[in-house]
């Protein structure tokens, strides 16, 4: 049985190495960061000293693997040339930051095709990805999506489709709240097993490297993306426990993006993950 690796999305406010301290406070041993505000294009810079401290503290405390989440503004599927250019530039900066920080994954949503159609959107994404220079030791990770509107990534076929459109070897991150919203019923152990089997058949489990572990406030197939505390949403205890156990079995690290509400924060959710995995 592989070790349970679970952590939270932590802040780099005051310096990127502070994310490690925050992760330890939550009780996490892996996790995710933004390198800048996800609502703007401006990346700023990461101080070399801070990057060294981040790597040293992560290694010393056995915190990892980390993942960088790309800006919410990035849209790989867009048919608009200006947005595509900004998206490619932003992704290139994220890849450089990952190499500097010793982070193996840069995670990104495919985005919306906005009228180009599924095939056109996936082709656009492949072309955008092929413009990127990916540093050694860093992998682009495509995240599954809730599938609302013209956003792609809600179906596993979209993930396999973008891999076929690019020369890069991609990896993938499954978000439990997103796959649930997209119509994959993971509320039972049987549903979790079926979902993993379908992912393996369509994409390949060897390409699944990370999990965003979130319960959902909305029903299966609603395409509504609103996260809930682990085991307290519509997926529920049975499904979340089964997904956690299978993720551990597959050696997949899990990053929480759960809310801070009702007196419960990341620390509560990390403890809850351990409890569910231990059968409590």
Spell out the SS3 assignment of the chain. CCCCCEEEECCCCCCCCHHHHHHHHHCCCCEEECCCCCCCCCCCCCCHHHHHHHHHHHHHCCCCCEEEECCCCCCCCCCCHHHHHHHHHHHHHHHHHHHHHCCCEEEECCEECCCCHHHHHHHHHHHHHHCCCCCCCCEEEEECCCCCCCEECCCHHHHHHHHHHCCCCCEEEEEHHHHHHCCCCCCCHHHHHHHHHHHHHHCCHHHEEEEEECEECCCCCCCCCCEECCCCCCCHHHHHHHHHHHHHHCCCCEEECCCCECCECHHHHHHHHHHHHCCC
- Burial (CB < 10 A; 0-12, 13-18, 19+), residue 108, is buried
Question: pLDDT tens digits, residue range 16-64?
Answer: 999 999 999 999 999 999 999 998 999 988 999 999 999 999 999 999 9
pLDDT of residue 1: 41
Q: Looking at residues 231-256, what average pLDDT do you find?
A: 98
pLDDT at residue 279 is higher than 90: no
The rounded percent of the chain whose pLDDT value lies above 70 is 99
Q: Looking at residues 164-186, what average pLDDT do you find?
A: 98
Question: pLDDT tens digits, residue range 182-232?
Answer: 999 999 999 999 999 999 999 999 999 999 999 999 999 999 999 999 999
Confidence of residue 2 (pLDDT cuts 50, 70, 90): low
Question: pLDDT tens digits, residue range 85-117?
Answer: 999 999 999 999 999 999 999 999 999 999 999
Domains of the chain: residue spans and CATH: 6-277 (3.20.20.150)
Q: Looking at residues 146-156, what average pLDDT do you find?
A: 96
pLDDT of residue 179: 98
- The reply to whether the predicted model has a pTM over 0.85 is yes
Residue that wins the pLDDT comparison between 224 and 279: 224
- Average pLDDT of the chain is 97
Q: Name the residue among 186, 176, 35 with its Cα closest to residue 107.
A: 35
Q: Looking at residues 7-22, what average pLDDT do you find?
A: 96
Question: pLDDT tens digits, residue range 84-93?
Answer: 999 999 999 9
């Amino acid at each position: 049985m592989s070790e349970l690796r679970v952590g939270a999305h932590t802040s780099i406010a005051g310096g990127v190495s502070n994310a490690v301290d925050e992760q330890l406070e939550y009780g996490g041993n892996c996790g995710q960061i933004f390198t800048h505000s996800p609502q703007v294009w401006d990346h700023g810079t990461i101080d070399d000293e801070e990057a060294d401290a981040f790597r040293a503290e992560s290694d010393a405390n056995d915190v990892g693997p980390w993942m960088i989440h790309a800006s919410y503004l990035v849209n790989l599927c867009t048919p608009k040339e200006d947005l595509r250019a900004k998206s490619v530039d932003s992704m290139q900066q994220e890849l450089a930051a990952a190499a500097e920080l010793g982070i193996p994954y840069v995670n990104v949503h495919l985005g919306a095709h906005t009228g180009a159609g599924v095939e056109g959107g996936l082709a656009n994404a492949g072309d955008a990805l092929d413009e990127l220079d990916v540093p050694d030791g860093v992998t682009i990770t495509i995240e599954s999506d809730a599938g609302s509107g013209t956003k792609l990534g809600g179906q596993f076929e979209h993930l396999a489709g973008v891999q076929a459109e690019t020369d890069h070897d991609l990896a993938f991150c499954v978000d439990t709240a997103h796959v649930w919203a997209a119509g994959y019923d993971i509320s039972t152990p049987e549903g979790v097993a079926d979902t993993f089997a379908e992912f393996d058949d369509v994409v390949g489990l060897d390409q699944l490297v990370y999990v965003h572990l979130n319960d959902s406030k909305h029903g299966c197939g609603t395409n509504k993306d609103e996260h809930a505390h682990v085991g307290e949403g519509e997926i529920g205890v049975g499904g979340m426990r089964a997904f956690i156990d299978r993720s551990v079995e597959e050696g997949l690290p899990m990053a929480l993006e759960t809310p801070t509400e009702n007196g419960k924060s990341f620390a509560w959710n990390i403890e809850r993950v351990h409890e569910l995995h231990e059968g409590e």
